[in-house]
Amino acid sequence: MLDKVLVATTNRGKLREFREIFSQYGIEIISLDDMEQKISVEEDRKTFLENAVKKAKTYGDFYNMPVIAEDAGLEVEALGGYPGVYSARFYSIDFGGKEEINRDKDEANINKLLRLLKDKKNRKARFVSIVVFYSPENTGIWTEGYCYGTIAEKPVGDKGFGYDPIFIPEGYNRTMAQLEPEEKNRISHRGKAVRKLIEILNKLSFQI
């Protein structure tokens, strides 16, 4: 029976969402901050899946326990899919020029994205989440989730993190950062990917 899983992240916003999603299943979610021995894994691959697999396998083998790793990001149509795998550090890459950090990295990423989209009519975008479950007994599963929407003209809301304040999901007139956690998890890329994962794990008799 699966009762404890390491979620390979130090991102507090992401960790909070994983705990909210898994809370109904009675599974204890621990993070990298909870581990006594610390290792780091560089996300240097070219796709979300490759990054997530690398993290899941490295942490799973090192700590000898089941691991869930995710790589996620925002893809903007008018920018050819950027920021994509560079979402967390978009402010620092050469594409579109680097952005100065005034308050934090999330704000710098948002400022750069809005600058590059200024005067563009096409503001279609999607959030992507690739979630990998890896057990040292060589069980590996991955799922994907998407949330489609548009980029707002300016940041609104304080409930989310990352690009949430400028992402308006399809069918909504509010940003992700204006949604309550339960509502966001129901429609989000991460929520969709995790629910698919849980369904597969149940079929494989992990008894979630």
The residue written with tokens 């690739």 in the block is 130
Give the per-residue pLDDT at 27: 84
Q: Is 3 a catalytic residue?
A: no
Q: Which listed residue (71, 94, 104, 119) is catalytic? A: 71
Q: What pLDDT digit, counting tens, does each position of 51-110 carry?
A: 999 999 999 999 999 999 999 999 999 999 999 999 999 999 999 999 999 999 999 999
Domain 4-203: assigned CATH number: 3.90.950.10
Domain residue spans in the chain? Answer: 4-203
User: Within a 10 A sphere around the Cβ of 34, how many other Cβ atoms?
Assistant: 9
Q: What pLDDT digit, counting tens, does each position of 174-204 carry?
A: 999 999 999 999 999 999 999 999 899 888 8
Selected residue with higher pLDDT from 170 and 199? 170
**Cα–Cα distance for residue pair 89/86, rounded to 1 Å:** 5
Distances (CA, A) of 177 to 45, 47, 66, 104, 186: 29, 26, 31, 17, 14
Residue count (the chain): 208
